Amino acid sequence: MDEVLFQKLSAYIDGELSPQDAEQIEDLLENDPSVAEIYRSIVDADARAREELDQMLELPVPAHLIHAIEAAPPAPANISDAPSHLRVMIQIAASVAFLAVGVVIGQSLSKSSATPGLETAAATVPAGWLRDIAEYHAVYETQTRHLVEVPASDVDHIEAWLGKTVEVSFETPDLTAVGLTFEGARLLVAAGKPVAQLVYTTESGDVVALCFLKTDKPDTESSKAQQIGGYHMVSWRSNGGAYVVVGPKARQDVIEQAAAQAISL
């Protein structure tokens, strides 16, 4: 594994990259399946490590360990000032910590290559804003009374407000032909940018959203379908905007029809 790439992916996950470096990583995630697989492995390893740490913190501390800690001399400010046997113990502890992280990541990578179908799933990991959208959707689709910020009855206000905030002019698509009713809109933030979310529902109550933000990337020649968690997503770029239609995987047909109609508007 390229150590520099690994460090950049880790920094990207933590939000520590400059906008320029973050954009380069997002391009790689969109266009290089092997980078997307490494990214997914780091995310999975981080989640597993956090879960295991939480479980460890819930365990009772053995009495003999408490006594040993209480009896231990204060740690020196500089490890070089510590007695030789203490320096060895500190170095061993650090080695064990790094080894544990390596094992978690190694196991995750091994499972990625050994589990049928996982490589395909990893290859669909998109740029950061799409994953943010999927996470937002998981929250908002469960809402009823507060599904939207501004109701569909204020469509003129929605277009003026979100168009100015997101800096993408638009007309709200009428998607009734594919069985979707416009409910209203809300403002999101993804990848550090304002995102417009136009919310629709099916007759059975499933929530489908058209989300978009401003971009300076070139238009795409065709839309791209992919899945994140339990959601199907169809994305494209056009006229200075990056768009995605998102909804439950079970409504894949409706989502793709909605995207095809939105693209043509």
pLDDT in tens, 75-102: 555 555 555 555 555 555 555 444 444 5
Same domain, 234 and 257: yes
Which residue range forms the structural domain that includes residue 226? 126-264
Residues ≥6 apart with Cβ < 8 Å to 162: 170, 185, 187, 196
Location of structure tokens 């009823």? 144
Same domain, 130 and 260: yes
Location of structure tokens 């009734």? 176
Whole-model pTM above 0.75? no
Of 67, 102, 122, which closes a domain? 122
Residue bearing the bigger pLDDT, 81 or 140: 140
Phi, psi of 222 (to 5 degrees): -155, 165
State pLDDT tens for residues 228-261.
Answer: 878 999 999 999 999 999 999 999 999 999 999 9
Same domain, 114 and 130: no
Of 107, 122, 137, which closes a domain? 122
Selection from 16-25, 121-130, 252-261 with the highest mean pLDDT: 252-261
Residue bearing the bigger pLDDT, 181 or 79: 181
Location of structure tokens 């520590």? 16
Three-state secondary structure readout of 213-239: EECCCCCCCCCEEEEECCEEEEEEEEC
**Among 195, 220, 222, which Cα is nearest to 209's?**
195
Residues ≥6 apart with Cβ < 8 Å to 126: 29, 30, 226, 228, 233, 235
Same domain, 100 and 191: no
Same domain, 130 and 256: yes
**Number of domains into which the chain is organized:** 2
Same domain, 143 and 111: no
Residue pair 150/185 in contact by the 8 Å Cβ criterion: yes
Residues ≥6 apart with Cβ < 8 Å to 196: 162, 163, 165, 166, 168, 170, 185, 187, 188, 211, 212, 213
Same domain, 59 and 135: no
What is the rounded CA–CA span in Å between residue 138 and residue 31?
Answer: 25
Same domain, 180 and 249: yes
**Among 15, 107, 3, which Cα is nearest to 52's?**
107
Of 64, 87, 122, which closes a domain? 122
Task: Tell me the mean pLDDT in the region 108-122.
Answer: 39
Phi-psi region of 17 (alpha: psi -120 to 50; beta: other; left: phi over 0): beta
Phi, psi of 199 (to 5 degrees): -105, 130
pLDDT at res. 100: 47
H or E, element range at 20: helix 19-31
Same domain, 96 and 142: no
Same domain, 86 and 178: no
Question: What's the whole-number average pLDDT of the chain?
Answer: 78
pLDDT at res. 124: 32
Cα 4 to chain centroid distance, Å, stands at 21
Same domain, 107 and 172: no
